[in-house]
Structure 1
């Protein structure tokens, strides 16, 4: 009982100092995810007479995955932090006697990936934002950021086969499990990246992520523009999207590009400056992911798992943005 009292005193002190997890809990209705989580994780025909340890609560494990992504932790590091930090345990809703280990965390994320229903979780929360009037629909900003994956050490012949869509026959099952045939190399400026791209459409006023697409890193940003955009809303993007098709009713505001022997005119520069004032807001989104959420790295293998990672990244960002707007009263676009 003394330990429980001490824990309560510690939590009260943390909350008084501004515990960010307590702030998230205060504004979030976590139960809204329950229906989809049951659909993903529940096994109605499971024979419970065989005994065994009861499964962890679905919502608790989902909050573990969200918290893990908020701090960009590996499965082992997440297990350690749950053991070590009272605020983490209180947020997810477990005590020190029933803490999921790294393997359990991996298994729950893997089941989410195999279900193919990760978009349903993202869409559920986005719909609550729509219902609350937090999506302004006064413009959408489209951009993409790299999601770096573990680099592959393949020889030239292996890389050639992978690019052609084949898995090298000499790879055994254990080696295949460690290889990522979906990730690709890409270059931006002088920097090389290996992995994927997180393409997003962001609401111009509220800075919520509206839609996302996950592709290999070498896929050009413009390839998924039409899928990301809502119709009848202005679209703001950079020069990478010049000449690309957008949905019906969209005004396309694209930064002008200079060409050899054809520099930008003063009018072009003014147009670019006007568009950039809007487009900079998507950089705030990526900046939050890179700083507060410790970056966009992906530790797994394969596009399906990378898609789950992207969903968790974008959902966690939206949840944090929602808390920020509620706490600071930032809704001024209605």
Structure 2
């Protein structure tokens, strides 16, 4: 007697699976419904126009498709190799990128080349484009602005003392072969925080207290002090004049600058040697901390997206990755508010 198969097959199974995904709620479809990726692509093409090959051949993938791939890569913390595999394997990824019926799928080299082509300026255009669309949807910066910085680790470099001395002098050991040079990050730097050494880069952000969207960013190497980016990430568009920051930012010059620009100084006080903070100053710090702590929620959300580690080599590519972190976080934050509004109704 012929044994029956335990699994029912159907020529239209893929279509059934798509409908099932829609019924369960595809988060990528939600992003697509609220973000104009064509507008983001146009902004990137203005910064880094698509190349035209005089020899003909297969044209490059549409910029919009590649931008969607970069968003997936950062939202789910995927390497270029993993991104290629998931595009081949996952139905929802292919649909989101418009590749459901495509004969060819962008491979790891294509993703890497596109990132190199648009560079840090292209990533900033994406971040600014997302920010502009947030404003268009009514998410205006409100409640004051919170400024803070976080360390972004990079793969540690194992160099001997002589090599380190040469690198500090902006030189490179003569015996390093080209393949080894490509793997050496000569831009990342070391710093100490809470008694521990860290190697990598620094991301400074400005978050509005009302919605916790990232409004301004600045990137640098880890050894740069947090306070160096303060004025660069100030957001003049916040409807509140309050500026919050922790004890790493206060100075008399900064307090005078804030007063001159019409901002209210909500930076925590820091005690000095042989001069502890008064009870009034401590109460002020505690009051500020309740609002300032909201920026830590942003860093925690980025960690949940896969962590802040950059796998790249060099400051330019690290800045690209950190800018994409911020843009992708804002997209995820937008989905939180959209879902909350839907549930409210």
Is the structural similarity TM-score above 0.5? yes
Q: TM-score, normalised by structure 2?
A: 0.87
Instruction: Measure how far apart 1:280 and its partner are.
Output: 1.3
Question: 8 Å contact 2:203–2:217 — kept in the other structure?
Answer: yes
Residue aligning to 1:314: 326
Say if 2:170 is the partner of 1:165: yes
Show the counterpart of 2:115.
109
1:256-300 per-position Cα deviation (integer Å, ceiling 9, x unaligned): 223444333322222111111111111111111001x11111111
1:265 and 2:278 equivalent?
Answer: yes
Does 2:17 align with 1:7? no
DSSP-derived class of the 1:117 partner: helix
2:267 maps to which of 226, 229, 254: 254
The answer to whether the Cα contact below 8 Å between 1:33 and 1:59 also exists between their aligned partners in 2 is yes
Q: Corresponding residue for 1:119?
A: 124
What pairs up with 1:189-204 in 2 under 5 angstroms?
A: 189-204=194-209
Normalised by the length of structure 1, the TM-score is 0.90
Moved more, 72-81 or 258-267: 258-267
Q: CA deviation at 1:154?
A: 1.0
In 2, the alpha carbon distance for the partners of 1:84 and 1:308 equals 27
Contact kept, 8 Å, 2:73 with 2:79, in 1: the verdict is yes
Report the Cα distance in structure 2 between the residues aligned to 1:251 and 1:169, rounded to whole angstroms: 54
Matches within 5 A, 1:153-302: 153-231=158-236, 233-243=241-251, 245=254, 246=257, 248-291=261-304, 293-302=305-314
Q: Distance in 1 between matches of 2:66 and 2:241?
A: 37
Shift of residue 136 of structure 1? 2.8
Contact 1:255 1:271 in 2 (8 A): yes
Of 240-249 and 294-303, the range deviating more from structure 2: 240-249
Taking only aligned residues, the RMSD between alpha carbons, in angstroms, comes to 2.1
Q: For the structure 1 residues 3 and 261, does the alpha-carbon distance in structure 2 shift closer, same or farther, using more than 3 Å as the test?
A: farther
| 2:203–2:220 CA contact under 8 A, matched in 1 | yes
Kindly state the Cα deviation for residue 116 of structure 1 after the two structures are TM-superposed.
3.2
Larger radius of gyration: 2
Q: Equivalent of 2:26, from 14, 19, 34?
A: 19
Q: How does 1:12-91 map to 2 (within 5 A)?
A: 12-39=19-46, 40-44=48-52, 46-47=53-54, 50-91=55-96
- The Cα shift of 1:85 comes to 1.2
Cα distance 1:237–1:69, how it changes in 2: closer, same or farther (>3 A)? same
> Structure 2: any 5+ residue segments left out of the alignment?
1-8
1:227-267 per-residue CA deviation (whole Å, 9 max, x = no partner) reads 01134832100000011625512222111223444333322
Structure 2 Cα separation of the partners of residues 312 and 129 of structure 1:
16
Q: What CA distance in whole angstroms lies between the structure 2 residues aligned with 1:169 and 1:80?
A: 38
How far apart are residue 4 of structure 1 and its match?
7.8
- Describe the shift of the 1:4–1:230 C-alpha distance in structure 2 as closer, same or farther (beyond 3 A): farther
